[in-house]
C-alpha cells in the first residue's frame, strides 16, 4: 500500500491542510508496525543513552494535544501541564499508548478539517512567552514534530527488541 501522502486527495479537505492528516495516518501505521509484539517491559526500557519508547509514544499524543490548544488560541490547562510532566513515567501498555495517540489524532483531525484555508496566515502564539507563529506554522510544526518522534520511536523499538532478547 502506498504511503498516506501518495493515496490521493482527501475528500472534503483542502490540499493545504491534507499534509497534516497524512502525517497523522503515517504515524499511526508506522507506530503500529514498529511496536508490534513488544512487551510493556520493552516499551518502558531505556536503551543506553536513549529515552524509552513509551515516552515517545506519550509525547506524540501529548505534544499534539498541546500544540492544537495553541492552534485554537487557548492556553494550556493544568491537566495538560501535569500530563507533560508525567510523560516519562512508565505504566501504559502498547494498546493504551496507541489508543491515546489515535484519540488525540482524531480530535486534532476534526479541528483541522474545520479550518478555513483563508486563515492559514492568521497569527497564533505558543507558550508562556507567547512566541509568535501562524496557523500554518503550527500545522507544519505539528506534522514535523510528530514525524521526528515517530522516527525516534522506530529506532528505540528496534533497540528495545535487541537489548531485551533472551
54: pLDDT confidence band, cut at 50, 70 and 90? very high
Q: What angle in degrees, to the nearest 10, is found between the helix axes of 53-71 and 78-85?
A: 160
- pLDDT for 164 equals 57
**Residue 54 cell numbers, joined:** 513509551
* pLDDT tens, position by position, 72-97: 999 999 999 999 999 999 989 999 99
* pLDDT tens, position by position, 88-121: 999 899 999 999 999 999 999 999 999 999 999 9
* pLDDT tens, position by position, 136-163: 999 999 999 999 999 999 999 999 888 6
- pLDDT for 165 equals 56
- pLDDT for 46 equals 85
19: pLDDT confidence band, cut at 50, 70 and 90? very high
- pLDDT for 50 equals 83
9: pLDDT confidence band, cut at 50, 70 and 90? very high
pLDDT at 133 over 60: yes
58: pLDDT confidence band, cut at 50, 70 and 90? very high
- pLDDT for 31 equals 98
The residue that leads in pLDDT, 163 or 49, is 49
131: phi then psi, degrees, rounded to nearest 5: -70, 135
Q: How far is CA 19 from CA 7, 24, 132, 140, 153, in A?
A: 11, 9, 22, 9, 21
Q: How far is CA 59 from CA 74, 84, 123, 131, in A?
A: 19, 8, 25, 21
pTM above 0.85, yes or no: yes
Mean pLDDT (the chain) is 94
pLDDT at 12 over 80: yes
Amino acid at each position: 500500500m502506498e504511503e498516506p501522502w501518495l493515496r490521493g486527495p482527501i475528500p472534503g479537505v483542502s490540499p493545504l491542510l491534507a499534509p497534516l492528516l497524512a502525517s497523522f495516518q503515517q504515524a499511526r501505521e508506522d507506530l503500529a508496525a514498529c511496536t508490534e509484539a513488544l512487551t510493556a517491559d520493552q516499551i518502558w526500557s531505556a536503551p543506553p543513552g536513549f529515552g524509552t519508547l513509551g515516552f515517545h509514544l506519550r509525547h506524540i499524543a501529548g505534544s499534539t494535544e498541546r500544540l492544537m490548544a495553541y492552534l485554537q488560541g487557548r492556553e494550556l490547562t493544568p491537566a495538560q501541564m501535569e500530563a507533560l510532566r508525567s510523560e516519562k513515567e512508565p505504566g501504559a501498555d502498547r494498546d493504551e499508548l496507541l489508543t491515546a495517540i489515535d484519540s488525540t489524532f482524531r480530535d486534532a483531525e476534526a479541528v483541522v478539517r474545520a479550518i478555513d484555508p483563508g486563515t492559514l496566515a492568521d497569527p497564533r502564539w505558543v507558550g508562556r512567552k507567547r512566541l509568535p507563529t501562524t496557523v500554518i506554522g503550527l500545522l507544519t510544526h505539528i506534522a514535523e514534530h510528530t514525524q521526528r518522534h515517530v522516527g525516534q520511536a522506530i529506532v528505540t523499538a528496534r533497540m528495545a527488541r535487541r537489548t531485551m532478547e533472551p
